[in-house]
Amino acid sequence: METTLEDSTAPEAPAVSQPIAQPTPAALVADGVERQLDPRSVALDRKVGWIVAASISFPIFVTVFLLLLLAPILGWVKALMALAWLVITGVLATVAHRYPQVAHRHTFYKVDAQGLQIRRGVFWRIVINVPRSRVQHTDVAQGPLERTHGLGTLVVYTAGTDHAKVSLHGLDHGTALLIRDHLLPGDARDAV
Amino acid sequence: MTPSDDRGDLDDRADHRLHPLSILFEFAAKVRSFALPSVAFLVTAGFAGFAWQLLLLPMTLPYLVAAIARYISFRYRYEPGELVIRTGTLFRNERHIPYSRIQNIDGVQNVAHRLLKVMEVRVETGGGQEAEATMNVLPIADFEEMRRRVFERRQEAPAADGVAEAHPEAPKGRGPLHLLHLPTRELMRLGLIQNRGFVVIAAAVGLLWEMGPMNSFLGSIFDSSGGRGFGVGPPKHAAREAWRSLVSPILDGNWLPAVQGFTMTVAAVLLFLVVVRLVSMVWTVVRLHEFRLTRTGEDLRTEYGLLTRVNATIPLRRIQTLTILEGPLHRLTGRVSVKADTAGGHQEAGQDNDEKPAQREPLAPILRRAELPALLSEVLPGLDLDAVEWQPAPARAFRREIKGWVLAALGSAIPLAVVLRGWVFAALPLLLLWAWMGARGTLAHQAWATTGDAVLYRDGWIWRHLSIAPFEKIQAVTVRESPRDRHAAMARLKVDTAGAGDLSERVEIPYLLKETARELQAMLALQANRNELRW
Q: What is the pLDDT of residues B232-268, one digit of tens each?
A: 444 556 666 666 666 665 666 666 666 777 788 889 9
Taking the C-alpha atoms of residue B458 and residue B446, their distance in angstroms, rounded to an integer, is 5
Residue predicted with more confidence, B301 or A6: B301
What mean pLDDT comes out for the span A136-165? 90
pLDDT at B39: 60
Percent of chain B with pLDDT over 90: 21
Average pLDDT for chain B: 78
* Torsions phi, psi for B166 (to 5 deg): -85, 20
How many residues belong to chain B? 535
Residue B288 makes CB contacts below 8 A (sequence gap 6+) with B182, B187, B190, B304, B305, B361, B365
Residues of A in contact with B477 (CB under 8 A): 128-129, 131
Q: Is the pLDDT of residue A154 over 90?
A: yes
Whether residues A160 and B126 touch (CB distance < 8 A) is answered with no
pLDDT at B435: 93
| pLDDT 10s digits, A70-105 | 888 788 888 999 999 999 999 999 999 999 999 999
Average pLDDT for chain A: 83
What is the residue-wise DSSP string for B132-182? SEEEEEEEHHHHHHHHHHHHHHHHHHHHHHT---S-TT---SSS-EEEEEE
Closest Cα to residue A133, out of A162, A153, A159, A167?
A159
Task: Tell me the one-letter amino acid at B258.
Answer: A
Name the least confident of B26-35, B118-127, B169-178, B413-422. B169-178
Closest Cα to residue B170, out of B477, B380, B472, B482?
B380
Tally Cβ neighbours within 10 Å of residue B380: 21
Q: Is the pLDDT of residue B47 over 60?
A: no
Q: Where are the alpha helices (DSSP H) in B339-423?
A: 372-379, 397-420
Residues of B in contact with A183 (CB under 8 A): none
Buried b (16+ CB within 10 A) or exposed e, B11-37: eeeeebebbebbbbbbbeebbeeebee
Look up the ipTM and state it. 0.77
A interface toward B at CB cutoff 8 Å?
1, 4-5, 8-9, 12, 16, 114-115, 117, 121, 123-134, 158-164, 166, 189-190, 192
Coil/strand/helix, residue B450 = strand
Selected for mutation to probe chain A from B129, B529, B533 (highest A CB count within 10 Å) is B529
pLDDT band at B501 (very low <50, low <70, confident <90, very high): low
Name the least confident of B195-199, B218-222, B521-525. B218-222
Strand pairing report for B291-296 and B299-304: antiparallel
Question: Distances in Å between the alpha carbon of A28 and those of A18, A117, B397?
Answer: 14, 16, 43
Residue B45 makes CB contacts below 8 A (sequence gap 6+) with none
Q: Among partner residues B343, B482, B533, which is closest to A134 by beta-carbon distance?
A: B533
Q: Among partner residues A121, A133, A158, which is closest to B529 by beta-carbon distance?
A: A133
Residues of A in contact with B476 (CB under 8 A): 128-131, 134, 158, 160, 163, 166
CA-based R_g, chain A, Å: 23
Q: Is the pLDDT of residue B90 over 90?
A: no
Taking the C-alpha atoms of residue A107 and residue A117, their distance in angstroms, rounded to an integer, is 11
Q: Where are the alpha helices (DSSP H) in B421-459?
A: 424-445
Residue predicted with more confidence, B207 or B507: B507
Q: How far is CA B400 from the centre of its chain?
A: 32
Residues of B in contact with A115 (CB under 8 A): 525, 529
Q: Is the pLDDT of residue B157 over 70?
A: no
Residue B232 makes CB contacts below 8 A (sequence gap 6+) with B238, B241
Taking the C-alpha atoms of residue A66 and residue A58, their distance in angstroms, rounded to an integer, is 12
Q: Is the pLDDT of residue A5 over 50?
A: no
Residue B417 makes CB contacts below 8 A (sequence gap 6+) with B424
What mean pLDDT comes out for the span B149-177? 52
pLDDT at B129: 59
What mean pLDDT comes out for the span B297-318? 85
Residue predicted with more confidence, A89 or B126: A89
Residues of A in contact with B472 (CB under 8 A): none
Q: Is the pLDDT of residue B466 over 80?
A: yes
Distance from CA of B142 to the nearest CA of A (A): 27
Taking the C-alpha atoms of residue B503 and residue B510, their distance in angstroms, rounded to an integer, is 14
Closest Cα to residue B145, out of B95, B96, B78?
B78
Sign, CA torsion A29/A30/A33/A35: positive
Distance from CA of B284 to the nearest CA of A (A): 30
Taking the C-alpha atoms of residue A119 and residue A34, their distance in angstroms, rounded to an integer, is 9
Q: Is the pLDDT of residue B311 over 70?
A: yes
Q: Among partner residues B526, B533, B534, which is closest to A9 by beta-carbon distance?
A: B526
Beta carbons of B165 and B298 less than 8 angstroms apart? yes
Taking the C-alpha atoms of residue A2 and residue B264, their distance in angstroms, rounded to an integer, is 67
Residues of A in contact with B518 (CB under 8 A): 1, 5, 127
Q: Is the pLDDT of residue B199 over 90?
A: no
* Torsions phi, psi for A179 (to 5 deg): -65, -40
Beta carbons of A130 and A156 less than 8 angstroms apart? yes
Residues of B in contact with A192 (CB under 8 A): 100-101, 533-535
Beta carbons of B479 and B440 less than 8 angstroms apart? no
Task: Tell me the one-letter amino acid at B530.
Answer: R
Residue predicted with more confidence, B174 or B299: B299
Residues of B in contact with A190 (CB under 8 A): 532-533
pLDDT at B379: 87
Burial (CB < 10 A; 0-12, 13-18, 19+), residue B40, is: middle
Whether residues B526 and A160 touch (CB distance < 8 A) is answered with no
Kindly state the helix (H) or strand (E) to which residue B490 belongs, with its residue range: strand B490-497
Task: Describe the strand order of the beta sheet including A151-158 as a list of residue ranges.
Answer: A135-141, A151-158, A165-172
What mean pLDDT comes out for the span A126-152? 91
Could you tell me if B469 lies within 8 Å of chain A, comparing CB atoms? Answer: no
pLDDT at B487: 92
Q: What is the 3-state secondary structure (H, E, C) of A108-176?
A: EEEEECCEEEEEECCCCEEEEEEEHHHEEEEEEECCHHHHHHCEEEEEEEECCCCCCEEEEEEEEHHHH
Closest Cα to residue B216, out of B67, B51, B44, B346?
B44
Could you tell me if B529 lies within 8 Å of chain A, comparing CB atoms? Answer: yes
Name the least confident of B135-149, B434-448, B458-472. B135-149
Taking the C-alpha atoms of residue B297 and residue B154, their distance in angstroms, rounded to an integer, is 12
Coil/strand/helix, residue B62 = helix
| Confidence (pTM) | 0.73
Closest Cα to residue B156, out of B318, B15, B297, B313?
B297
Beta carbons of B186 and B267 less than 8 angstroms apart? no
Beta carbons of B105 and B123 less than 8 angstroms apart? yes
